[in-house]
Amino acid sequence: MRLSLLCRYACLLAVLLPGLAQAAGALLLVGGGLKDDNAAIYQRLVQLAGGSGQARIGVITAASIPESQDPDAGTASAANSRANGEYYANLLRSYGAADAQWIPIDLDHIANNSNPQVIAQINGMTGFFFGGGDQSRLVQTLQNVSRGDTPALAAIRNRHAAGAVLSGTSAGTAIMVAGPMVSGGESYEALRYGPYTTPSGDDLSYDPSGGFGFFTHGLLDTHFSERGRQGRIVRLADYTGVPFAFGVDENTGLLVKDNPSLGQVEMEVIGTGGVFVFDLRNAELGGGSNWALYDVLASYLTNGDLYRPQSGQFVIANSKTSLRNREQYSSAMSTTGDIFSSPNNSGANGRKKPREFVLVSTDLFNSRSTSTLGRTYELNPRYRVDLIKSTQFDSHGYKGTVGGQTLISYLRLLMDVRPN
């Protein structure tokens, strides 16, 4: 590994170590696209907030488009903050919450972040749900100009320390991160041009100040496999010197909580998709004029799988069994020409090949091939992604059925990204 990377990692860990102990409350982080019928996530949120008939959940939709900018304001617009807040509050009550209330803080009601009545409302909650939209709006409404806590965010932080669960979807998940916070961009532009601190088009953008600081285990990204964000988060992790990065798929939750019997934090995957864990501790930069990175380890966890970040231990759900010597196919699928699900390769319903990286990588573990590859849809340069079952790192795939859904998980897949 390059010395500069070691120095950056050491400096980062020195910053994060004081916050590594998980607060009393859990985090339930959803990758966006949360469906109304996802009982596994909604019921777990209610349970973590005190249980059916006891949970009191505050709904924060400050990331939504504010009423003053919403052409449909005054109607039942799903885009405006109040409508979103009431929508989620009704949904949470339908899943057993004793009460769920919209917390009236957004860009149209920004003064409420210090309103004593709103603070009292927050102090009565046993859990909080942050809706999606644009995480920069959460920064503007819940932090002050020096990026410190407003009274409202301080109250939420105190409730979390006392045991209240924090949950979010999309932007509401992205804002939870402690380290640099990704704010936009596509994988191809990330590989070609690198990151910027000012959002612009499809360029990779990020906020160096991070988010609210509740998730302290690495970078965090959402809408992950559906929008092919593997390239952008790995590029940002390398640039910022963060050794671990997590990507949460749509309609999928990453539950982060203390496991007292183990004396450490434990993460659990809930829902229909999966969660990526990227490990860059052994990654090596290429030496050419175009960016390249070698020896990234990618793990993909699905429903019921666990990860313990402090010990680095993965625990695959009992319902899944090893794919070694049980592979369904003799060889991996044909090389793909859109490994990162480019928006430029559009179909009738958006991206023509959503979840392409997951399809290619899980297929590799369900075959007797030892490697496969995919290329970016964009050219000049075109990037190549090699995926390799590594004997050195004990790459391993698992398959099983959970809730009637067939799922494949894998651990420590070696990933190289280079121009081709």
From 64, 170, 205, 299, the catalytic residue: 170
Residue type, 227: R
From 109, 160, 217, 223, the catalytic residue: 223
User: Does the annotation count 250 as an active-site position?
Assistant: yes
Nearest to 204, CA basis, from 216, 218, 192, 217: 192
Does residue 381 have a cis bond before it (omega within 30 degrees)? Answer: yes
Q: What is the token pair recorded at 42? A: 């909604």
User: Does the annotation count 223 as an active-site position?
Assistant: yes
> Which positions are annotated as active-site residues?
170, 223, 250
